[in-house]
Structure 1
Amino acid sequence: MGVQILTPSTWPQLLETLQSGSWNPQLGRFRSPFVFRGQAHAAPLSTSLQRLSSDPRSIERHLIRAFRKYAPATTEARRSLWAWLTLGQHHGLPTRLLDWSYSPLVALHFATASEAHADHDGVVWMIDVAATTQGLPEQLRRVLAQEGGAVFTTEMLDVFSAGTSGDLPFDAEMSWLDRVEHEQGGPYLLFLEPPSLDQRIVQQSALFSMLSNPEVTLDDWLSSRADLARCVVVPRDLKAEVRDRLDGANITERTLFPDLGGLSQWLSRYYRDRPPQLDAPQGRTLDEDRNRHR
């Protein structure tokens, strides 16, 4: 895609790479313009909706309609389409949304937690949200400017949707995306902060990306905008050390999935035997490793 690929070989290099560009001279503080997405192995940046069907636009309406119909049996009804969409994404419904985090450490968790992919290089994707916002259609940029932010909320997107009451067909509520895309002359990418539905979203510093066209993959969109993103490789030989460092920093299933399921996942992984060759990173003892980074 032409996106810059970076491959740090040590934990300090990995942190430095993920935190590069975070100094904001206007604020005089470290505030990264990037958001992060961790993957246990190299895989396309496709949505769950795209992976479900070769015709995502057609099947999307059926999924949302059925989800709206049956979900109120176990949760309160939402008035906003966008609230429904984020709720569905959060609970595994295939949608046009893609998961991201404000935290590079949370992204590293998802790049290293899968034991099934321990023998594969992980990746952490970084996208510059501030720069992405500059490429949005003017009317969307105007709404963000009024709020003084770079990321939308469900309430902000309701401004563009005629069906905020939830009584209009799905296509009618989403029609403004296609209309603005036509005026823009091509698909655009925006970022959406979900409501604090539960502690998982809060603990994971979660947000979602959404392309105006559900048939376009983020890989394809970035192919002509390579300067907006970076791909940081987490070498498989470094994964075990990164995993231990994250456990020590309390970035675990227990904290990111604060329920009994998350607790059980963490305990199962934390106490599982590890192959002897992975005990000391790159053949060093722990004391040697500490001295090396003093």
Structure 2
Amino acid sequence: MHVETVVAESWDHLQHELFADSWNEDLRRFRSRVAFRGLSDSSYRLETTLMRMGGPFAELERHMLRNFKKYAHRNVVEADSLWHWLSVAQHYGLPTRVMDWTYSPFVAMHFATGDLEKFDRDGAIWSVNYVKAHERLPRRLREWVEQEGANVLTVELLSDVVNSLHELDTLDSEKVLIFFEPPSIDDRIVNQYAFCSVMSDPRLVLDDWLCTHPGIARKIVIPAALKWEVRDKLDQANINERVLFPGLDGLSRWLKRHYSPRR
């Protein structure tokens, strides 16, 4: 089985595909229930930073997280839970099984078109319906979601059910995908409208899981020939590094890209 793939033919077509199925008849409002992730190269897989380490990465995960907790200042987390520590570790660059997503299709477009070195190849935006994904959660987690009337779990809710990597690994006989909102550690998370996912099996590439669960995800390809138009219009809409990465590093990255000549 394959994930549905659509190739954007224009800026307008791209908008149409990104906002498809966002109408909520119950609310009579446009309220998308989709997680977006932008990739500068459409051939990239949905691999975690932990996977990209190579070697026995699944066995090393708990050792890295244990030592991160040991050496990090305790005041960097709001609560001493697996999910707070995973969120902070991912945010500061430790390889983890966590994957970053955004509620914003425009933020995803930024990440698909932000690397000028990749403008000679197609980009892509993955969209995953997190409500449909959560229909496959174990019963006790589904009950928490339904009880709270939430679509995405919080770190506090998850901590009540799963609070160790071992518990996460053995969560259910079927491998599951969990979306959760990390604590607002800094303005970067807020400005990027960010949230996260984890697989209960750290070895399972998300592409493979999505292929075996049709109807949950779509892949929208941005052809290389369309990237410059998308990039320029995002900059005009103030979707850029200066906003998404507040601080001098984001400002410098934006200015470098903004003033780079078109090749």
> Normalising by structure 1, what TM-score?
0.86
Q: Distance in 2 between matches of 1:81 and 1:134?
A: 23
Write the distance in 1 (CA, Å) between the matches of 2:250 and 2:105: 20
Encode CA deviations 1:118-169: one digit per residue, 9 max, x unaligned: 101000000011111111111110011111111111111110245xxxxxxx
Q: Aligned ranges for residues 180-259 of structure 1 at < 5 Å? A: 180-181=171-172, 185-259=173-247
The CA RMSD over aligned residues, in Å, is 1.5
Higher share in helix: 1
Secondary structure, aligned partner of 1:127: strand
> 1:58 matched to which residue of 2?
59
Compared CA separation, residues 76 and 142, structure 1 to 2 (3 A): closer
Amino acid at match of 2:19: Q
Conserved 8 A contact 1:101-1:207 = yes
SS of equivalent residue, structure 2 residue 5: strand
What is the number of residues matched between the two proteins? Answer: 262
Q: Structure 1 residues 48, 76: CA separation in 2 closer, same or farther (over 3 Å shift)? A: closer
Q: Does 1:268 align with 2:256?
A: yes
Structure 2: which 5+ runs fail to align? none
Find 1:174's aligned residue among 148, 165, 171: 165
Which stretch of the first structure deviates more once superposed, 248-257 or 72-81?
Answer: 72-81
Q: TM-score, normalised by structure 2?
A: 0.96
Aligned to 1:84: 85
**2:174 aligned counterpart, secondary structure:** coil
* 1:261 shift after superposition: 0.4
The 2-side partners of 1:129 and 1:264 are apart by: 34
Judge conservation of contact 1:53–1:59 (CA < 8 Å) in 2: no
Letter in 2 for 1:80: S
| CA distance in structure 1 between the partners assigned to 2:175 and 2:106 by the alignment | 30
Match of 2:132? Answer: 131
2:94 maps to a residue whose letter is: L
What residue number does 2:73 align with? 72
